[in-house]
Amino acid sequence: MEWLRRAACVDEDPELFFPVGTGGPGLRDTEAAGRVCARRPVRAQCLAFALDLGQTSGVWAGTCEEERVAPPRTTALYAHRATKSSRTRSSTHIRTTK
């Protein structure tokens, strides 16, 4: 959590990162939050934190809810999910033999 002290959002109004709706004012807040996130180099840590927690609401590392739920396969976001998913599958695999 050391990265959190270097995050640009620490000095911003938290409501900016949890916009109401996906159009109009909500869209403007999402875009503004993304610009705040772009100011600091801790986006990867923030995104990993949000994905690990399964954070489904708000703007995290400049990503909106939809981007975190269904990311494109070519992004680092997908790579993070794929790695986490394979770790989860391998740790929960049950061997059934007689």
pLDDT in tens, 3-28: 888 898 888 999 999 998 878 888 99
Structure tokens at 81: 């999910």
Question: Which pLDDT score, from 0 to 100, does residue 91 have?
Answer: 40
Rounded Cα distance, 93 and 30, in Å: 39
Per-residue pLDDT of 24-76, as tens digits, reads 888 999 999 999 999 889 999 999 999 999 888 999 999 988 888 765 555 55
Q: Three-state SS for 63?
A: strand
CB 9 within 8 A of CB 23: no
Phi, psi of 64 (to 5 degrees): -90, 175
What are the tokens at 76? Answer: 């680092």
What is the structure's pLDDT at 40? 85
